[in-house]
Structure 1
Amino acid sequence: MAFHARNLEVADISEELWGEMTQASNDSLRSVLTDWNNEINPQTTTTVPGKEIRALTINVTQICNLKCTYCAAGGDGTYGAAQTKISVEKTLPQLKYFLEKVADSGTFRIGFIGGEPLLYPDGIRAIANYVKLMTAGRNIRAQFSIVTNGTLLTDENIALLEEIKCNISVSIDGEAKYNDAARPMKNGQGSTAVVVEGLKKLFARKENFGSITLHGVFTAENMHVAEAYEFYRQFPADAYEFTYSVSDLNQEASDTFTREMRLIAAMAYAEGGETALRKISFFNRIFSALDEQRRTENFCGAGKSFLVVDARNNLFTCPWDVGNDAMKVGQGTEVFEGALEEYSSPLIEQNNCQSCWARFLCGGGCMYVHKEATGSKHQKNGQFCERTRSLVGTAILYFKKSRQTDIQEDSDYGKH
């Protein structure tokens, strides 16, 4: 098979053509491939973040009831500066400031994170109600999401999440023998049993939420990705998300994570074809981009369409920068002059990704991950690039397999 990096086209290559491609002197074939490479497909589009902030992630707390071994938020959810709860009185004017700058169309997204955000449900309710009030009658759809450790899924908190039709991501790294070791309570006891009980209540009312995702983080100490996938499948989640730790630079673990991700892709496809494979968030994202022929030039909208509000109402471009005063780009309703200027250019340009075949499906990679490895958010982390290219390649192979029956044969050298 072949892949057109710029047009996001997948081509099927006959065995005869593949054989000819091994002949370096085949001028006719080289000419055909050059012509294809130079083609511009007008149907291919590029996702360009708007120049207005359309998404805010809010640290409603900077405390947590767990002490995860790999926590990148200061080791205890505080980002090095504990804050029991955000000031709603300071946050509402901040929301007003950003919402008044938004054109009357599209979606405005609010994400609730911590620490553990469900330690302050009253703050979540007050913020959500205010956003709904501010967007009413403006043709703006307010969308809410939360990342929670799942230990506080009480009836009252579930009712709150129902009330705002929340998209819910529950962090759990697999079955108890792995999750309890990585995500213990602060008293040292395991958290898995409590999370599972909460999940059962959550899924019993599944139709009342936006979506439910199960999310695991994997480090050198826990590379049991396939076992986590098997564990997740007992729950009727909308999506499963598998993340390699943002601060783990272990090459062997990185390679193992890639192999495990390929394994769960094979498991999913064998069991349920494209539908099952696309429940894994990474593969769903690549399939969507290929189906829509939609190029991505930015791994995320940090500093472009997205900002973070910490529990002290400071502004950052990335959730992992919270607590680092040097990375602060604003305070309250003030965005520091020139602070967002460096984010104006596409990441694939700033990160020098122009020669990478996977650039329009990766978007330049995570700036925080790059900085953790190299000291600069625009100097690429080689391990991240290797993992991403490998998994993008896996996704393209399954995309081709899934779409094969829908593709009509092309007479040019067996290209489809």
Structure 2
Amino acid sequence: MISSTTARPDLSRFGPIGLVVVQSTSLCNLDCSYCYLPDRQKKRVFDLDLLPLLVRRILESPYAGPEFSLVWHAGEPLTLPTAWYDQATAILQRSLKEHGADGLEFTQHVQTNATLINDAWCDCFRRNRIVVGISVDGPEDIHDSHRRFRNGRGSHAMAMKGIEALHRHEVPFHCISVVTADAMEQPERMYRFFRDNGINDVGFNVEEQEGINTSSSMQGGAMEAKYSDFLRAFWRLSEQDGYPVVLREFDQVITLIQGNQRMTQNELNRPFSILSVDWQGNFSTFDPELLSVASDRYGTFNLGNLRELSLVESTQTAQFQRLLEDMTRGVETCHKGCEYFGLCGGGNGSNKFWEHGSLATSETNACRFGTQIPVQVLLERFESGPPLTPQPTH
């Protein structure tokens, strides 16, 4: 079906750091049923005095590249005031200039549930050039069955007000939608929701077993078949309607296939391609969802604190070496045994850990939903008609 004739993965290659995920606050105003984060009811705030040190740690390391994006995430970033992000932006710009990194391509992002977005936030996004990602799960009943406030009230109405504000201020945004069993029977409603609300750049995150969310409604062969049908119907509607809702899962795979490219690993399993920092300044690499996670097998996935350890020094610790060894074993197992390897690069460590208790494993439920099923649906579509071209991202 898919050729996996790719070069052997080489995890001795580190970086470059392309993504820096920073927890501006641990607090979230929602209590989503599938959230993996503990203690999200506590307001712990990242100390902005750490930002210059974070920039220095990146730029002094051999893993710094020509560009990176900083994403405020892991909590609800907008529970902090707009002035906090004004100050953060000023500090970041000053720090980059002081380190002679004026030519470095830097972008700042925020991932938000959209419930707090208003005119003031839109002004903040624009003046600080913050790229906006929102999370919304579709029509009201589907969304509100999982994305609720702590008092049990659904969050859909407030999220839609936030989306309306973004449109009104012409602030572009992309969307992440967590797909649960509730949506499987309703691909037309899901498609029309995104179309009718001007949301044309969407990534489906199938509900995962991770963190404190110890089970998923999207497990088992029956749900895999339903998800295949769901994606087929969603794609067909998008083609027929003339309003392409660009799905991240399809767009990425189409680009790889048509470019005759094959992955040998991905940013989630290549050391220091991603740097994640929690509100205390503790940092990790690999998958951001492993940040500050504690386990019997690995202890914490954190490698150290910015105040005490450089990135290079962290790679010399026994903790990093153990994580790297198991991550490498897991990627190599995927390479040897999975025909989809060239299109995913060895999977995500967090999914392997949450589902199997170890990084040194291969196929996961998340692999099947995130890569295998979308690829199968796309190949069917390739075979049934003219070749598809990647849809333009807006």
Q: Secondary structure at the match of 2:133?
A: strand
Q: Does 1:142 align with 2:142?
A: no
Q: Does 1:89 align with 2:45?
A: no
Q: Secondary structure at the match of 1:386?
A: helix
Q: Counterpart in 2 of 1:174?
A: 138
Residue-by-residue CA offset, 1:258-316 (whole Å, 9 max, x unaligned): 331222122223333xx826x11111111111233332223434533111111111112
Q: Counterpart in 2 of 1:28?
A: none
Q: Counterpart in 2 of 1:219?
A: 180
Letter in 2 for 1:228: M
Aligned-pair RMSD on alpha carbons?
A: 3.0
TM-score, with structure 2 as normaliser: 0.80
CA distance in 1 between partners of 2:133 and 2:11 (Å): 25
CA distance in 1 between partners of 2:250 and 2:12 (Å): 21
CA distance in 1 between partners of 2:253 and 2:105 (Å): 25
CA distance in 2 between partners of 1:48 and 1:159 (Å): 43
Deviation larger for 289-298 or 139-148: 289-298
Match of 1:331 among 294, 305, 309: 305
TM-score, with structure 1 as normaliser: 0.76
Q: Counterpart in 1 of 2:241?
A: 271
Q: Counterpart in 2 of 1:246?
A: 208
Letter in 2 for 1:403: P
CA distance in 2 between partners of 1:180 and 1:138 (Å): 44
Q: Secondary structure at the match of 2:86?
A: helix
Q: Does 1:114 align with 2:74?
A: yes
Q: Counterpart in 2 of 1:257?
A: 227
Change (3 A) 1:61 1:297: same
Q: Counterpart in 1 of 2:191?
A: 229
Q: Counterpart in 2 of 1:320?
A: 289
Match of 2:59 among 99, 106, 116: 99
Q: Secondary structure at the match of 2:203?
A: strand
Change (3 A) 1:86 1:225: farther
Cα offset, 1:180, TM superposition:
1.5
Letter in 2 for 1:143: T
Cα offset, 1:134, TM superposition:
3.6
Letter in 2 for 1:358: Y
> Aligned residue pairs: how many?
357
Matches within 5 A, 1:13-412: 51-74=15-38, 77=40, 82-101=42-61, 106-120=66-80, 121-136=82-97, 138-206=102-170, 208-209=171-172, 212-220=173-181, 222-223=183-184, 226=187, 227-247=189-209, 248=216, 250-251=219-220, 252-272=222-242, 276=244, 279-302=246-269, 303-317=271-285, 318-325=287-294, 326-333=300-307, 334=309, 335=311, 336=314, 337-338=316-317, 339-341=319-321, 342-343=323-324, 349-387=331-369, 388-399=371-382, 401-403=385-387
Cα offset, 1:109, TM superposition:
0.9
Greater Cα radius of gyration, structure 1 or 2: 1
Deviation larger for 229-238 or 65-74: 229-238
Cα offset, 1:58, TM superposition:
0.5
Letter in 2 for 1:359: F
Q: Counterpart in 2 of 1:410?
A: none
Contact 1:58/1:311 (8 A) holds in 2 = yes
Cα offset, 1:382, TM superposition:
4.1
Cα offset, 1:404, TM superposition:
7.7
Deviation larger for 246-255 or 64-73: 246-255
Q: Secondary structure at the match of 1:276?
A: coil
Residue-by-residue CA offset, 1:169-189 (whole Å, 9 max, x unaligned): 211111111211211112222
Change (3 A) 1:293 1:108: same
Cα offset, 1:370, TM superposition:
1.7
Change (3 A) 1:93 1:49: same
CA distance in 2 between partners of 1:224 and 1:123 (Å): 42
Q: Counterpart in 2 of 1:413?
A: none
Gaps of 5+ in 2: 210-215, 295-299, 390-394
Cα offset, 1:64, TM superposition:
0.8
Contact 1:64/1:116 (8 A) holds in 2 = yes
CA distance in 2 between partners of 1:404 and 1:327 (Å): 41
Cα offset, 1:61, TM superposition:
0.6
Contact 1:91/1:313 (8 A) holds in 2 = no
Cα offset, 1:148, TM superposition:
0.4
Q: Secondary structure at the match of 2:75?
A: coil
Contact 1:86/1:123 (8 A) holds in 2 = no
Contact 1:373/1:381 (8 A) holds in 2 = no
CA distance in 2 between partners of 1:313 and 1:104 (Å): 19
